Chains A and B, each alone.
Chain A
Amino acid sequence: MLQITNLSASIDDKKILNGFNLKIKPGEIHAIMGPNGSGKSTLANVLTGKNGYQVEGQVLYQGKNLLDLPIEERAQKGLFMAFQYPLEIAGVNTNNFLKTSLNTVRKVRGLKELDSLDFLNLIKTKTKNLKIDEKILNRQLNVGFSGGEKKKNEILQMTILEPKLAILDETDSGLDIDAMKIVSDGVNSLRSKDRSFLIITHYQRLLDYIKPDFVHVLVDGKIAKTGCSELALELEKVGYGDMEPTSR
């Protein structure tokens, strides 16, 4: 699914990722943990193609060179990111945004675009399954949403777009237990043998609900340690303090 080799990224000559390596196979869930400033969000941004980074190294996504593709093509090919801070867009109806997004992606994938009625049926099912209040659909995209509503909206978008690889960038930060449950239910419901997840988080909490196959600890722009889900619990106790950057 995804193979990252010797990835470096800097902003204004400040190196943030430095010799980062990671391989994600179809169906796997990887969690990336690490202290603030270790490069977690940069990793998500570089993979999705956000501007402003000088990037070196190689990233293969489904066997193709990911770094050459514009942002929207990466998305159309099934790469999705749940944003840490979802953006507010005034005047744009949430329902419309989701429909436009889904139909753009469907068109590229050679599928028939959904008309309003089909889409409505789909979204009603999804919101119901996720226990998300349908009312957010008729509001302006993320405008005036609470932190929890914004994150739920990200998960809703994820379940609608059915990505191949979903990156969750600190989706759990600032969530209460109920919202956390919705987020993890969303991920668990999508879990399948050909879909992978990269879950970026600062806390272990989310991993009580989503069982990762691997946990990586990111320190100073590279993976300092890799383990199974117990590693997360261990980190919760001892913190990141004594974590020395080592090669994997």
Chain B
Amino acid sequence: MKQVGRAIYAGRADGKALVTAQPISFYGGVDPTTGKVIEKGHELQGESVKGRVLVFPHGKGSTVGSYILYRLSKEGLAPSAIINEESETIVAVGAIISEIPCVDRIDLSRIKPAVMLRVDGRTVRS
């Protein structure tokens, strides 16, 4: 598979896909001290985002979420890259300040769970 989207923060990274069809709230939804998804009832609850290429439609919740991504990155617990359908303020700003490669306008339904992905600029390959 190869798809070309829009680079929100251009960079190169590899990792195993962690895929959800549900939006993610980093503030309150991901524990900045463990990297685990803690939002009750979320598809990814209990999964760690560390080193994964995190694939989700878009962010939600408080804009403090951008700082949570930054905290994760400083702790070495951040995803290696982010792929969105449509990035919004929280994820875009979080990716930029944390320097996490981030691409949006990608058809998420074509990405299989747990497949190895490479993000490079605005390109996503498996």
A and B, one complex? no
Interface residues, chain B, with chain A CB atoms under 8 Å away: none
Interface residues, chain A, with chain B CB atoms under 8 Å away: none
